Amino acid sequence: MEDKFLKEANNTASNYPSDKLTMQGDIYEQFNKILLIEDNPGDARLVELLLGESDLLNCKIINKTTLTQGLELLAEGDNFAAILLDLSLPDSRGFETLQKLLGRFPDNNVIVLTGLSDKSMGVKAVKAGAQDYLIKGAFDADSLAKALRYSIERSSVLKRLEDSQRIAHIGNWEYNSNTKELSASDEIYRIFGFPVREIIISPDLIENPIHPFSAFKEIHDEAIKEKWVKKDMQIRQKNGETRFISVECRGIRKGPGSFILTGIMQDITERKLAEKELIKSQDRYQDIFTKSKDAIYICTLDGKFVDFNQATVRLFGHMEEELKKMDAHQFFQSLEVRKQFLEQLNAKKAISDLEVIFNCNGDVKRYCLISAGILETDDFTGYNCVVRDITERKQAEELIKARDLARESASMKEQFIASISHEMRTPMNAILGMSNLVIKTDLDTEQFNYISSIKKSSEILLGIVNDILEISTLQNGKVEFEYKTFDIHELLTNLINIMQYKATEKEMFIELVMEPAIPRFVKGDQLRINQILYNLVGNAVKFTDNGFVKVFVKILSENNNTVQIKFEVQDTGIGIPKEKLEAIFETFTRVRSKDRIYEGTGLGLSIAKNLVEQQGGKIGVDSKVGYGSTFFFDLVLEKGSEEELKSDEKQLEEDIELKLNRPLQLLLVEDHKMNQLVARKTLERHWTDIDLTIANHGKEGIEQLEKRKFDIVLMDIQMPIMDGYEATKYIREQMPPEIANMPILAMTAHAHISKDEKFKEYGMDDFVLKPFEPKQLFAKIAKYVNKNLK
């Protein structure tokens, strides 16, 4: 029976959940462990019965029969709400028993059990630190419950205090300056990094300046001096780690030089570190805030600025002080957008990258991307805002758009010009070619004159078409300059001769004044230089009725390889008003004359200017109305030699000569009847024995090629049924190699053909422009036929 009780009690004890580190309230309430150190089984049983009768719930008694066993159990670290201690045990008797227990476990609530005979012992025990005493045989359920309840209460309060100290990292201590005794709560040990009560905080440790506990001396000295101290300080832990603590200590004087010091300390390291982190991160954010190129500001929902950075000041263009008084919402250019912004912000709590226009100070319009988020704290409701100024980007985008549009329209213009020129060149090819042929037949004077004037007019017309084409190519920067040796003396003399011929109708003369040092042979684009001079001298003759036109050619600078030549065309004509001097170099600009109409298109000078400048020179004019004008330009030309010129010319001659010992077999694919005739006559005049076949379109051409052998094909591009590109593609890809590999020359009025390179893509070897220059046509035919022979 007794054994069973003991067993049960022990079992129960071992089944208790450990509540050492737990603080859940229900566990405190569920089990209050009571240690009963009592060797008499009857007394033990009685205690249990009385406890069962009492109103105390949730108590479990663990019974040990000797002091040694009791102490062993306590040493295991279990917490007991109370210890019921019999003072006469087999291994210890009397008052000593209590002293032994309290000596080792001073914080326990001990209720001593004494016999009726030694009641005085109970009183003595209480004085020595016991909580209460009960006289065996004289206590009932109520008095047992009362004593225990008080103990349980005290132990639970102490426990809660300890828990809260531990959780809050607060410890308390008391120091007696007289006895130099210091008693501290467990948390004090933890704060200093020592296992609880591993060592005693003894006077020698407090006095030892290198020991962590010397912190107490510092606090006590101050507290004695000031009576009260409250401060944050750093301490060192057992392992050398630094901790921050907040201490408060009061010194109470007990006598001369004798004080009782009571203090509490709290470990505030985490808070300190968090504060430091916070300051650090605040500094970082502050940095971003101030240095940001984006405007960042915080304002209330009705637009009052709370904080803003310098970029905000720069964006809105108002001084800081002004801005503080302004409404952040007033800058929205559109009321509609402002409304949309605020509605969205309220509804979604955040907005990102809304594109807006701000009207900043001085009516400056800025395109911005605005992102905002609602800020809500206890005492503030508003929003933060990041505004990126994208005005420059916007402007650049617009410029790009404008540029693309301009490019598009330029290319449309170019295409238009190309197609117009095609349309004009094709019939003109026929007119010019036919007039050339007719003029060589037997004609009477009248017929000859008519044909001559047809020829002259169509030459002028062709000139205009060429000018328009030329300027459109020049303005697109697509001109490639030739680089060949030529005789500049010859060029100038020829030019003057032609012009002299033109000027004969007028009472004027033309003179070439050339510095003797001007080298004869130079390298460059002869045709283009001729064209510049032709335009300038042509104008001088046109706008001068009497007097002279002089062409000066001077050397500006020279070295071994190059010479910089200045050309001046001086006339005594009508002159140009000062305000028009610049404009005349622009396309289609002409000065209107009251008394006379001069023919022209207003293109000559802009062509000349473009040609000069694209060859790296400068062009200009001096003029006085009624007195005359001087146009001038300069060019740097490389020096050449006669040998180079001769070898170039020889090459050309060779190119024109066919290396065939039989008649040339040529297939002409061309739909235009007139052009067929022009080509036929031109070719037959040069190669009298030519074997020429004509096909009216691509398909017919292919049929011819299937029938017989040819040396070369001249292929028109635009044709009905099958055009030149398609036919060439077919020949190259579908026909047997000996036909597929034959030379094919495109014949086109497309002046831009060389630029689009399309003819090469389709497999044509080269092209001849219509109306063709006979020599060029012969040279190209010869070149490809000869090449194919090798």
Binding stretches for ligand ADP (CB under 6 A): 535, 539-540, 543, 571, 573-576, 584, 589-591, 600-606, 629
> In terms of CB distance, is 181 or 507 closer to ligand ADP?
507
> In terms of CB distance, is 582 or 703 closer to ligand ADP?
582
The residue type found at 43 is D
> In terms of CB distance, is 525 or 571 closer to ligand ADP?
571
Minimum distance from residue 528 beta carbon to ligand ADP (Å): 16
Report DSSP state, residue 583: G
Minimum distance from residue 413 beta carbon to ligand ADP (Å): 19
Contact 726, 744 (CB under 8 A): no
Distance CA 632, CA 568 (A): 4
> In terms of CB distance, is 95 or 552 closer to ligand ADP?
552
Distance CA 46, CA 63 (A): 12
CB-count burial class (<10 Å; 0-12, 13-18, 19+) for 68? middle
For residue 281, what are its two tokens?
């991160």
> In terms of CB distance, is 523 or 609 closer to ligand ADP?
609
Minimum distance from residue 541 beta carbon to ligand ADP (Å): 8
Minimum distance from residue 601 beta carbon to ligand ADP (Å): 5
Residues 6 or more apart whose CB falls under 8 angstroms from that of 414 comprise: 472, 476, 752
Residues 6 or more apart whose CB falls under 8 angstroms from that of 415 comprise: none
Q: Measured in whole angstroms, how far is the alpha carbon of residue 739 from the centre of its chain?
A: 57
What region does 763 belong to: left with phi over 0, alpha with psi -120 to 50, or beta?
A: left
Q: Which run of H or of E encompasses 224?
A: helix 214-226
Minimum distance from residue 471 beta carbon to ligand ADP (Å): 10
Distance CA 154, CA 728 (A): 113
> In terms of CB distance, is 65 or 570 closer to ligand ADP?
570
**Residue 780's closest CA among 680, 711, 726?**
711
Contact 785, 687 (CB under 8 A): no
Distance CA 462, CA 456 (A): 10
> In terms of CB distance, is 12 or 614 closer to ligand ADP?
614
> In terms of CB distance, is 185 or 629 closer to ligand ADP?
629
> In terms of CB distance, is 463 or 720 closer to ligand ADP?
463
Q: What is the DSSP string of 687-716?
A: STT-EEEEESSHHHHHHHHHHS--SEEEEE
> In terms of CB distance, is 80 or 543 closer to ligand ADP?
543
C-alpha distances in Å from residue 228, one per residue of 178, 222, 260, 339: 18, 8, 12, 61
> In terms of CB distance, is 603 or 744 closer to ligand ADP?
603
| Cis peptide bond N-terminal to 771, omega within 30 | yes
Minimum distance from residue 569 beta carbon to ligand ADP (Å): 7
Minimum distance from residue 595 beta carbon to ligand ADP (Å): 13
Minimum distance from residue 571 beta carbon to ligand ADP (Å): 5
> In terms of CB distance, is 192 or 543 closer to ligand ADP?
543
Minimum distance from residue 630 beta carbon to ligand ADP (Å): 9
**Residue 533's closest CA among 552, 518, 520, 515?**
552
For residue 470, what are its two tokens?
């030329």
Contact 411, 472 (CB under 8 A): no
> In terms of CB distance, is 136 or 528 closer to ligand ADP?
528
**Residue 469's closest CA among 411, 406, 421?**
421
Minimum distance from residue 550 beta carbon to ligand ADP (Å): 12
**Residue 496's closest CA among 470, 471, 521, 514?**
514
> In terms of CB distance, is 589 or 696 closer to ligand ADP?
589
SS3 437: helix
**Residue 221's closest CA among 195, 249, 190, 188?**
249
> In terms of CB distance, is 236 or 502 closer to ligand ADP?
502
Distance CA 215, CA 223 (A): 12
E strand intervals along 740-786: 744-748, 766-769
CA atoms within 13 A on the CB side of 246: 9
3-class SS letters over 503-549? HCCCEEEEEEEECCCCCCEEEECHHHHHHHHHHHHHHHHHCCCEEEE
C-alpha distances in Å from residue 491, one per residue of 325, 521, 552, 697: 79, 10, 14, 42
Minimum distance from residue 622 beta carbon to ligand ADP (Å): 11
Helical pair 604-614 and 526-542, crossing angle rounded to 10 deg:
150
Minimum distance from residue 575 beta carbon to ligand ADP (Å): 6
Minimum distance from residue 621 beta carbon to ligand ADP (Å): 8
| CB-closest chain residue to ligand ADP | 600
Distance CA 367, CA 85 (A): 88
> In terms of CB distance, is 540 or 779 closer to ligand ADP?
540
Minimum distance from residue 422 beta carbon to ligand ADP (Å): 23
Minimum distance from residue 749 beta carbon to ligand ADP (Å): 24
> In terms of CB distance, is 620 or 774 closer to ligand ADP?
620
Minimum distance from residue 603 beta carbon to ligand ADP (Å): 6
